[in-house]
Amino acid sequence: MDRKIESALISVFYKDGLEPVVRQLHHEGATIFSTGGTQVFIEALGIPCVPVENVTGYPSILGGRVKTLHPKVFGGILARREFEEDQQHVKEYEIPLFDLVIVDLYPFEETVKSTDEEQKIIEKIDI
């Protein structure tokens, strides 16, 4: 499948290796959407990105635990481009389509190995 990546959603805990990918996406003209620390990282490279909050209309809430759990984000990931009904919903609800998603998980296992503090462990649970 040869399709140009026009938009990417990036939200990662580990930023290692992200810079060349982001630079290439920017070079190719992709719109980059991002969250919190990842957004700060990307913008520090001098590369513009759209905060996910601009898509959802909600700020990051509950101590940063809820950022992308929103129909406009998941709709943009799951919309089937070949289904007319999906495309009607995308248009009706102004859902941006994401061609690429780059995510990772919080370091839950590392946290469990390094502490017995229940609250620290709970904070590293990711969905």
| 16-53 pLDDT per residue, tens | 999 999 999 999 999 999 998 999 999 999 999 999 99
Question: What's 119's DSSP letter?
Answer: H
Please tell me the total count of domains within the chain: 1
CATH number at residue 48: 3.40.50.1380
Does 1 reside within a domain?
Answer: no
25, part of any domain: yes
CA distance 92 to 101: 23
Q: Which domain holds residue 116?
A: 7-123
* In contact, 115 and 121? CB cutoff 8 Å: yes
What number is the average pLDDT over the span 75-85? Answer: 95
Residue 55 burial class via C-beta count within 10 angstroms: exposed 0-12, middle 13-18, buried 19 and up: buried
Within-domain flag for 2:
no
Residue 119 lies in a domain: yes
At 43, list the tokens. 């913008």
Q: Is residue 90 part of a domain?
A: yes
Contact 33, 8 (CB under 8 A): yes
The single residue listed with the structure tokens 């982001």 is 22
What's the pLDDT at 121? 61
Coil, strand or helix: which one is 31? strand
pLDDT at 112 over 70: no
Q: What is the pLDDT of residues 84-107, one digit of tens each?
A: 999 999 999 999 999 999 998 766
How many C-alpha atoms does 119 have within 13 Å on its Cβ side? 1
Distances (CA, A) of 81 to 3, 75, 78, 124: 12, 11, 9, 34
Strands (E), the chain: 7-11, 31-34, 50-51, 100-103
Q: Is the pLDDT assigned to residue 60 strictly greater than 60?
A: yes
pTM: 0.83
Do the domain assignments include residue 22? yes
58 has pLDDT over 70? yes
